[in-house]
Every structure is written in structure tokens, then in C-alpha cells.
């Protein structure tokens, strides 16, 4: 049952890394960030070991108006989806992902830092989170999400992304709408795919750009591929017929973008 819950609506953030990411986003909110903290549970048997963190959370609770609730280890286990929480859980409201539009981007993201990413067809919230972690670390300035995305499993995605999913500005759009806004902004569209492609190491990946990466099963939509200024492929060190995971492909592509714009 819990595994099914992970892939449905879940706004439970587990562990201090995820909790800090939510609090940091409240301190310096990305565009449209409206998540509200409802309560924090802590394992009462770890009160002394977690004294410093609990003191910080108590101060934040006064600022943001949430409860801090002691719980037994069994109660924590019954609430948590995973087992790496360290006795700290945070329950929140949903986060609204604003619609992508050119004006909001112009107002919030400087042109010289416009490195957008779009993930399509990623079928697992962990893979989605791992991809966001790598792309955020590589310097991506915002993620464009399809309307069917994994941010309803925000706690799982946050844990997999080491907090990056809460820190990263996000917008939602369909493929055609995203391509249109990128055109309005003068942003080139780079798609990772095989057909009609050039090696990623031979492509011009200078800012501003949108990097689009698809899941290993479904790949990218035809609308996005048709709108691409360039299609790039990832080179393998040997003959290998399988596609890389979205997280692996995003990591390689994201760091080549970083290298070229360093």
C-alpha cells in the first residue's frame, strides 16, 4: 500500500534535508511558491540527539505558524513512506506550479542565466527527482513540467532530489505552449534524441536554451522534437542498444551545458 501511496498525492517531507529545502524556499520563494507547512512530527526518543534541529524548527514554527508534534517511533513509522527520515517528518499543503508565460520569465530570470529544462515521459518519481537533482546542480534556472508530472508526490521527489525540487523555479506547460514561449523569449530548444541528431559534444549549447529530455520508454513528444533548433545524442563508449535512464541522460546533458557556459 505504501508503495502505491508514493506514486499518488503525498505532501509529506521526510528527513532534515527535505525539511530545510521547504523552509529555504519559504525564505526565498521561487516564482509562485505557495506551499504552507501544517505540522512537523519528531521522534520523541531522539529529542536530545535532535536538539539543535528541533530548536531551529521551533524558531521557524513561530515564523510560519506550524505545529511541532512529538510522536513515538511506531507513530512515525506509521506516517512515513520511507525509512531514512531520521525521526523528522513535515506535512504541508500542495504547491501551485504556475503556468509558463514570457512575462513571468522576463521578470524573474535574467537572460544570461536562462537554462531551462523540460522532462517528458518520466514514469517514476524517484527518477524524476534524481534528474532534477543533477540539473539543479548543473545550474538549471527553471524546470518546465508537463501537466502530468510527479510534483503531486512532492515528498518523494524532494527526497530523491536532495531538496532541489523545492528550490528550483517551476512552470507548467504542454509541449506546444512551451515551444511558443521559448520562441517569444529567443531561447533555443535543444532536444536529446537519436534521429537526425548530432553529438552533444559538437552542438552549441550556449545560453539561453531549453534542454528537453524524455523518459527511456516514451521519449519526447513529436511537438517538441518538431520545434527543436537542434537534436543531440549522447555518445556511448561501446555498442549498447538500451536507452539511459532519464536521470542519467539529464546528468550528462546538463553538465555538458554547464561546461560550455562555465
Phi/psi of residue 149, nearest 5 degrees: -135, 175
Averaged pLDDT, 243-251 = 92
Averaged pLDDT, 89-98 = 94
Averaged pLDDT, 151-177 = 94
Which residues have a Cβ under 8 Å from the Cβ of 146 and sit 6 or more positions away?
A: 118, 119, 120, 172, 173, 174, 175
pLDDT at 147: 81
Quick one: what percent of the chain has pLDDT higher than 90? 81
pLDDT at 198: 96
Q: What is the pTM of this model?
A: 0.90
| Mean of pLDDT over the chain | 92
Averaged pLDDT, 90-98 = 94
pLDDT at 121: 85
The Cα 146–Cα 118 span in angstroms is: 8
Residue 148's pLDDT band, with cuts at 50, 70 and 90, is confident
Q: Which domains does the chain have, with CATH numbers?
A: 2-30+36-92 (3.30.1330), 102-261 (3.40.1280.10)
The answer to whether residue 235 scores a pLDDT higher than 60 is yes
Quick one: what percent of the chain has pLDDT higher than 70? 97
Averaged pLDDT, 104-130 = 92
Handedness of CA 224, 229, 234, 240 (dihedral sign): positive
Question: What digits encode the pLDDT tens for the residues 27-84?
Answer: 999 999 999 999 999 999 999 999 999 999 999 999 999 999 999 999 999 999 878 8
Averaged pLDDT, 189-217 = 94
Averaged pLDDT, 208-224 = 90
Q: Name the strand (E) or helix (H) holding 89.
A: strand 88-92
Amino acid at each position: 500500500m505504501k508503495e502505491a501511496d508514493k506514486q499518488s498525492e503525498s505532501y509529506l517531507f521526510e528527513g532534515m534535508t527535505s525539511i530545510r529545502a521547504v523552509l529555504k524556499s519559504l525564505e526565498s520563494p521561487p516564482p509562485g511558491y505557495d506551499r504552507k507547512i501544517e505540522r512537523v512530527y519528531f521522534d520523541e526518543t531522539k529529542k536530545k540527539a535532535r536538539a539543535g534541529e528541533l530548536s531551529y524548527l521551533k524558531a521557524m514554527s513561530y515564523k510560519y505558524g506550524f505545529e511541532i508534534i512529538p510522536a513515538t517511533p511506531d507513530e512515525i513509522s506509521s506516517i512515513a513512506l520511507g525509512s531514512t527520515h531520521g525521526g523528522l517528518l513535515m506535512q504541508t499543503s500542495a504547491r501551485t506550479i504556475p503556468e509558463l508565460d514570457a512575462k513571468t520569465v522576463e521578470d524573474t530570470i535574467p537572460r544570461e542565466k536562462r537554462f531551462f529544462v523540460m522532462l517528458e515521459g518520466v514514469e517514476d518519481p524517484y527518477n524524476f527527482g534524481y534528474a532534477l537533482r543533477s540539473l539543479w546542480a548543473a545550474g538549471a534556472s527553471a524546470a518546465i513540467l508537463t501537466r502530468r508530472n510527479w510534483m503531486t508526490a512532492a515528498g518523494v521527489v524532494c527526497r530523491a532530489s536532495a531538496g532541489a525540487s523545492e528550490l528550483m523555479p517551476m512552470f507548467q506547460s504542454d509541449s506546444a505552449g512551451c515551444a511558443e514561449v521559448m520562441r517569444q523569449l529567443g531561447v533555443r530548444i535543444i532536444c536529446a534524441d537519436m534521429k537526425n541528431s548530432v553529438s552533444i559534444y559538437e552542438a552549441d549549447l550556449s545560453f539561453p536554451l531549453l534542454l528537453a529530455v524524455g523518459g527511456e520508454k516514451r521519449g519526447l513528444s513529436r511537438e517538441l522534437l518538431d520545434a527543436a533548433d537542434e537534436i543531440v545524442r549522447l555518445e556511448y563508449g561501446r555498442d549498447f542498444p538500451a536507452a539511459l535512464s532519464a536521470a542519467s541522460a539529464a546528468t550528462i546533458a546538463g553538465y555538458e551545458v554547464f561546461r560550455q557556459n562555465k
